[in-house]
């Protein structure tokens, strides 16, 4: 029997950054993993922005477990999923926690009021994750068409593209 295949395309530099920005901002939320290789700590976090250099920005509490973990080891892994479009991104990089007021002003939104007492709350920090590498999968066609291609391949035994492209991300 055949198997649906995705074309493989590794992306580097600016092309990788553009793909990271496009796919992560569509997903909006990721699992943010710290304490990797030990008792990993994973929580959902809302992405604020991916800047021109590819840094992913998040709002966080200075009292959080992940801030505590990042003070010991700044390695972070981010898992984004946009299931409605069959798009997935994994990013590994180095995180930096900051109390820079300009960054807090830039990234704070009223959505964060659920966790903080306004943008002047002293517990607010921003986390910037600079990607080292990662992996992505995105559909070239819409989800329904991609699914139809996969079903066709499964039923007929034919090898066919599944309507997506995947590859490594090297920033």
Domains by residue range for the chain, with CATH: 11-139 (2.30.110.10)
- pLDDT band for position 103 (cuts 50, 70, 90): very high
- pTM metric for this prediction: 0.84
**Average pLDDT, rounded, for the chain:** 89
Contact status, residue 56 vs residue 50, Cβ threshold 8 Å: yes
Cβ neighbours of 5 (radius 10 Å): 13
Confidence (pLDDT) at 128: 99
Confidence (pLDDT) at 150: 55
Query: Does residue 32 register a pLDDT over 50?
Result: yes
Contact status, residue 4 vs residue 149, Cβ threshold 8 Å: yes
What gap in Å lies between CA 165 and CA 24, rounded to an integer? Answer: 16
């Amino acid at each position: 029997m055949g198997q649906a295949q995705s074309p493989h395309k590794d992306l580097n530099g600016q092309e990788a950054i553009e793909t990271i920005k496009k796919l992560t901002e569509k997903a909006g939320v990721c699992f943010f993993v710290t304490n990797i290789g030990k008792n990993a700590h994973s929580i959902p976090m809302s992405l604020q922005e991916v800047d021109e250099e590819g840094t992913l920005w998040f709002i966080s509490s200075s009292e959080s477990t992940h801030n505590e973990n990042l003070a010991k080891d700044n390695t972070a892994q981010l898992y984004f999923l946009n299931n409605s479009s069959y798009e997935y991104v994994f990013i590994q990089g180095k995180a930096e926690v900051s109390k820079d007021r300009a960054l807090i002003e830039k990234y704070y939104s009223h959505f964060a009021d659920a966790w903080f007492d306004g943008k002047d709350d002293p517990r607010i920090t921003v986390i910037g994750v600079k990607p080292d590498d990662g992996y992505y999968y995105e559909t070239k066609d819409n989800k329904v068409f991609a699914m139809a291609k996969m079903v066709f391949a499964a039923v007929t035994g034919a090898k066919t593209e599944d309507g997506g492209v995947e590859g490594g991300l090297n920033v």
